[in-house]
Structure 1
Amino acid sequence: MASSTPLSLIILVTLNIQLLLLLLPPQTQAQTPSAPAPAPAGPVNLTGILDKNGQYTTFIRLLVDTQVDNQIENQLNTSSEGLTVFAPTDNAFNNLKSGAINDLSTQEKVQLVLYHVSPKYYRLIDLLTVTNPVRTQASGNDSNWGLNFTGHGNQVNVTTGIVTTQINNALRQQFPLGLYQVDMVLLPEELFGAKPPASAPSPAKTPSSTSNTKTNTSAPASPTKGNGASGRNVVGWVLSLGLGMICMGALS
């Protein structure tokens, strides 16, 4: 009996320690360090991506000069639809006729840049099944300023009605931004299409002679009575003068 006492005490003390540990507040217990949560993704920087890939200097300058870059950045980080941007290379701009861009007004440059942006995120494979025409940021409430997509397999072509080019390179294909290289500037018909001939001004109507020329229906003026009376007075005066001279001759 004496030999079993120490063992009983050991068991009792062990149980008491375990119970005490269970009663301690959680903050005093040893913590296993957890893995840090992944940092949230930063804002998408369109011009930064273009600059990193090179050969988009002219398109970047247009984005900045028209301040469309600020509009795109805001939409990329707030819109639930995302955006799709078609970025022409510097060679694409160099192949335009001289003055094609510089001759545009500020508003027209804004419209040209917005024409290269669709207000929805598309993967390349999505562009093969879209309903044409696809709206762009330049589109209004009608179907103008739209893009049309065709192709098969891994080849996707985009056409504006003036130019058709292949989408060759996906610079970014991750929501909220689909960014694709095009080797031609997408020229909208609304800016670069054939202008309708100016209508000639309507010839001035020549008034007819019968409408402007009034027929003189008044009777010719008749001699006034005053003129007739004056004539009679002159005749009477001449006769009187003649009689007077005759009488003077007779008296002499």
Structure 2
Amino acid sequence: MMDIRTKLVMLFLVTFLSVSAHVSAQSAPSPLPTSTPTRTNITAALEKAGQFTFFIRLLKSTLVGDQLNSQINSKSNQGFTIFAPTDNSFSNLPPGTLNSLSDQQKIQLIQFHVLPTVISLSQFQTVSNPVTTQAGDSSEDHFPLNVSTSGNQVNLTTGVNTARIDNTILSGSKVVIYQVDQVLLPAAMFQSSAPAPAPAKPEKAFSAAAADTPTSSNGATVDTSAGIPLRLHPVTIGSYIAVAVAAFLALLY
């Protein structure tokens, strides 16, 4: 049997090990909570800024807003530059302008306000015209968008109207949103066509009666009732009259 001294030593060791394990468990650092990355939302940024109700409505109804948000938050996308017209700029459009557009044209109208890359205000001074938009073809008669600068002012010309960048709504590594004072109107949808030429005036007017009655080259009327035209020359008519008179005189004498 173990003596009392041995029992005391073993009890001390067990107690020491238990306390050490408890202290170690309490001193171990707890893992840090994982943070959810912030997702960019274009419509939320515009709603926060205010005065973009019409533009937000088009972004949602055409689903272009959802597509842009998805691409912006994708790691592979290079980002976008968005020109956001104010409510006043939409109010200045002729009545019925938006209602006259098809669903596809509304999508193209919104895409015309989006560049497929991030461009800062200073970079507008060196861009090549026409700049490419999400609407596609930037040729002169489709969706041209040209940039001009004067000091710090940046103007956007579509061939139909000219807009000015007034403010920066959102600036990030994947998206920048600029406030513009006009709705950008692409030439493919809003450029007025040249007026049609006026019809040429006839050199000589004819009455309906005269047009219905055929005539010969010498002015005599042509009888088409039998299907074969009978052309009577004035000299022939005179001969018939002379023969008839002579026969009548012969009967008298």
Q: Does the alignment pair 1:70 with 2:49?
A: no
Task: Please name the residue that 1:89 is paired with.
Answer: 86
TM-score by length of 1: 0.62
Distance 1:38 1:83, change over 3 A: farther
Q: Residue 132 of structure 1: which of 129, 132, 135 is its match? A: 129
Task: Output one character per residue of 1:85-109: Cα deviation in whole Å (capped at 9) or x when no partner.
Answer: 0000000000011111111111111
Q: Residue 45 of structure 1: which of 38, 41, 45 is its match? A: 41
CA contact (8 A) 2:132 2:138 kept: no
Q: CA deviation at 1:77?
A: 1.4
Residues 98-247 of structure 1: pairs in structure 2 closer than 5 A: 98-140=95-137, 144-196=142-194
What is the number of residues matched between the two proteins?
A: 176
Distance 1:195 1:156, change over 3 A: same
Unpaired runs of at least 5, structure 2: 1-23, 199-227, 229-253
Q: CA deviation at 1:169?
A: 0.4
Distance 1:104 1:154, change over 3 A: same
CA contact (8 A) 1:111 1:138 kept: yes
The SS at the match of 1:191 is helix
CA contact (8 A) 2:144 2:159 kept: no
Task: Please name the residue that 2:57 is paired with.
Answer: 61
Distance 1:141 1:113, change over 3 A: closer
Q: CA deviation at 1:31?
A: 5.7
Q: CA deviation at 1:198?
A: 6.4
> Residues of 2 paired with 1:141 and 1:87: CA distance?
19
CA contact (8 A) 1:139 1:146 kept: no
Identity across matched positions, percent = 43
Question: Which of the two has higher C-alpha Rg?
Answer: 1
Q: CA deviation at 1:150?
A: 1.0
Q: CA deviation at 1:131?
A: 0.6
> Residues of 1 paired with 2:167 and 2:118: CA distance?
16
RMSD over aligned Cα atoms? 2.8
